[in-house]
C-alpha cells in the first residue's frame, strides 16, 4: 500500500515539518509505504495529489491549512482513482476539520490517521474550481482580502469577521440575480453565502442544519442592515440562528447561478475566487475522508 503525505512547511507557524516523522512512522506500522512531498508554490498540492491519483495511492494526507487542503481536494476531484483523504489541520480556521470532528490539535489529528473509519463527503463546484466549505459574495467576501497575515495570526478566524463587520456598516448593497433549482431571486443584498458544512469561516454553527453528505448547498441572502442590526446579525451567526434573522432569506440548492450588474468577486474557502457570474453545483459524497 502507498500513502502520500503533502506538507505545507509554512503552515502552523512553520511547525508542519515537526509532525512528518511521526506520521511516517504511524503509517509505516499500518503497512503503508510513504512518499512525503513539500509544497513550495501555489498549486503544488493539487499537482502532487493528481500524481497520487494517477499512481493509485491508497491514501493522501494533507498536512497544512485550509488552502493546502483545498488544493489537495481539487487534485482529487473527478479522478478515476481517488485515495482516502487524511487531514492534519494546521491552519487558522480549519473549517473542514471542524465539520468532520477531526481534532484541531495536530497530535490528536495525527493519531486519527490510524483509524479504519471513513466518511464520504460532498464537494462543491464553482465554475472550474472546487470547494469544501463556503463561497461568500459581497461585503465580507471583499473585506477578507484586507486581512493582513499579522491579523490572521493574532485573531485567527475572527480577523475575517472583524474586518467584514467594519465594512458592513459602510458598504452599499449589491444587485444580485440568483437562479437556484429552477427558481429565481432578484434584489439587492450585501452578502450571499453558500455553505456546504456547518462550520464556515470559523463559526461552528453558521449553518447548523448542513451535513457534510446531504448533497445540498445551504444558502443565505443577507439584505442591507444598519449599524444597530449588526450586533444582532453577529449574534445570530454565533448561535446558528442566521436563517431566522430578520432581513435574511434562507434556502437550499443542488445547483446555483449567481450574477450581478456590478463587478463582484467571490471568496472560496477563504481565498479569492472567480468574479461573477458563477455557476455552482454539488458532487454528492464524492471524497472519502478518514475520521475518528
For range 8-13, the mean pLDDT? 79
Number of residues written out for the chain: 292
Whether residue 80 has pLDDT greater than 90: yes
Separation in Å, CA 197 to CA 100, 164, 233? 9, 21, 20
Locate the DSSP E strands across the chain.
2-7, 33-38, 59-64, 84-89, 118-126, 129-131, 134-138, 174-180, 183-189, 191-195, 217-222, 248-253, 255-259, 265-268, 271-275, 278-290
Q: What would the DSSP string read from start to end of 151-162?
A: HHHHHTTHHHHH
Question: Where are the chain's structural domains?
Answer: 2-116, 131-284
> What's the CA gap between 93 and 90, in Å, rounded?
9
The CB density around residue 182, as the number of other CB atoms within 10 Å, is: 6
pTM attached to this predicted model: 0.83
Kindly report, residue by residue over 191-229, the tens digit of the pLDDT.
898 989 876 555 555 666 778 889 999 999 988 665 556
Give the residues across from 61 on adjacent strands. Answer: 5, 86
Q: Which CATH number fits domain 131-284: 2.40.50.140, 2.60.200.40, 3.40.50.800, 3.30.420.10?
A: 2.60.200.40
pLDDT higher than threshold 50 for residue 13:
yes
Helix/strand/coil for 197: coil
**249 labelled catalytic:** no
Phi, psi (degrees; rounded to nearest 5) at 27: -70, -35
> Looking at domain 2-116, which of 3.40.50.10330, 3.30.720.110, 3.40.50.2300, 2.30.110.10 is its CATH number?
3.40.50.10330
Q: Which three cell numbers stand for residue 58?
A: 491508497
pLDDT at 254: 96
Q: Minimum mean pLDDT among 96-105, 162-171, 172-181, 244-253: which range? A: 162-171
Pick the catalytic residue: 146, 271, 272, 292?
Answer: 271
Amino acid at each position: 500500500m502507498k500513502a502520500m503525505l503533502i506538507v505545507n512547511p509554512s503552515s502552523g507557524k512553520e511547525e508542519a515539518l515537526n509532525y512528518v516523522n511521526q506520521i511516517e512512522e504511524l503509517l509505516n506500522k499500518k503497512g503503508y509505504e510513504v512518499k512525503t512531498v513539500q509544497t513550495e508554490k501555489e498549486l503544488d498540492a493539487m499537482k502532487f495529489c493528481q500524481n497520487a491519483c494517477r499512481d493509485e495511492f491508497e491514501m493522501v494526507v494533507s498536512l497544512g491549512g485550509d488552502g493546502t487542503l483545498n488544493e489537495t481536494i481539487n487534485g482529487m476531484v473527478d479522478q478515476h482513482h481517488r485515495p482516502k483523504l487524511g487531514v492534519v489541520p494546521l491552519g487558522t480556521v480549519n473549517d473542514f476539520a471542524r465539520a468532520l470532528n477531526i481534532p484541531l490539535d495536530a497530535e490528536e489529528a495525527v493519531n486519527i490517521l490510524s483509524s479504519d473509519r471513513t466518511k464520504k463527503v460532498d464537494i462543491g463546484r464553482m465554475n472550474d474550481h472546487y470547494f469544501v466549505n463556503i463561497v461568500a459574495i459581497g461585503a465580507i467576501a471583499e473585506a477578507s482580502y484586507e486581512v493582513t497575515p499579522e491579523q490572521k495570526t493574532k485573531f485567527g478566524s475572527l480577523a475575517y469577521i472583524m474586518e467584514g463587520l467594519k465594512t458592513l456598516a459602510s458598504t452599499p448593497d449589491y444587485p444580485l440575480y440568483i437562479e437556484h433549482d429552477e427558481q429565481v431571486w432578484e434584489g439587492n443584498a450585501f452578502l450571499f453565502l453558500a455553505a456546504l458544512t456547518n462550520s464556515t469561516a470559523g463559526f461552528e454553527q453558521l449553518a447548523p442544519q448542513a451535513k457534510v453528505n446531504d448533497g445540498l448547498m445551504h444558502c443565505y441572502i443577507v439584505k442591507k442592515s444598519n449599524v444597530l442590526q449588526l450586533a444582532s446579525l453577529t449574534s445570530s451567526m454565533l448561535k446558528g440562528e442566521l436563517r431566522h434573522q430578520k432581513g435574511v432569506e434562507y434556502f437550499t440548492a443542488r445547483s446555483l447561478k449567481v450574477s450581478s450588474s456590478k463587478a463582484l468577486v467571490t471568496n472560496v474557502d477563504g481565498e479569492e475566487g472567480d468574479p461573477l457570474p458563477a455557476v455552482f453545483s454539488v458532487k454528492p459524497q464524492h471524497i472519502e475522508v478518514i475520521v475518528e
